[in-house]
Amino acid sequence: MSDVTSPAVVDDKTNIRTSEATADVLELLVKQGHFVTQLGAFQAAAMLALRKELPAVDIPSAGGLNYNQGSFKQVIDFLTWYVPTPTPARLLEQLGNAGAAYIGEKVRSGGYTLTEIFEIAQPDATA
């Protein structure tokens, strides 16, 4: 009996890359103390893109950071289940770069906090 719970992964990426612009945004988020690592910031950006239904975009062949697929095992497993897709690492790369571009645009234009960008509910101070 075959396992039909997840699609077969075919021709997926073994390394997940960022664009140079994405790497700059991730570095800024770490420097500002929002994330401990750029890897964590990239994962959050990917989940933001998924939540906001931002279009997954390919990135230029040169640039940014390079991560091994194994660094994202839980997120890749989640994408395989949630989307589902036979190329979850490729999708993660595309979503992470799209989400970071979105965050970068908001942060650079000013007047936005990460709480607002991620639409994190704040506790009601009057309750």
Evaluate whether 82 touches 96 at the Cβ level (below 8 Å).
Answer: no
Smallest CA-to-CA distance from 81 within 50, 49, 38, 120 is with 50
Give CA–CA dist 85/27, Å, rounded: 29
Report the predicted TM-score, pTM, of the whole model to 2 decimal places.
0.81
Tens-of-pLDDT digits for all 127 residues of the chain?
A: 444 444 554 678 888 999 898 999 999 889 988 899 999 999 999 999 999 999 988 877 667 888 888 899 999 999 999 998 899 999 999 999 999 999 988 887 776 777 778 777 666 666 5
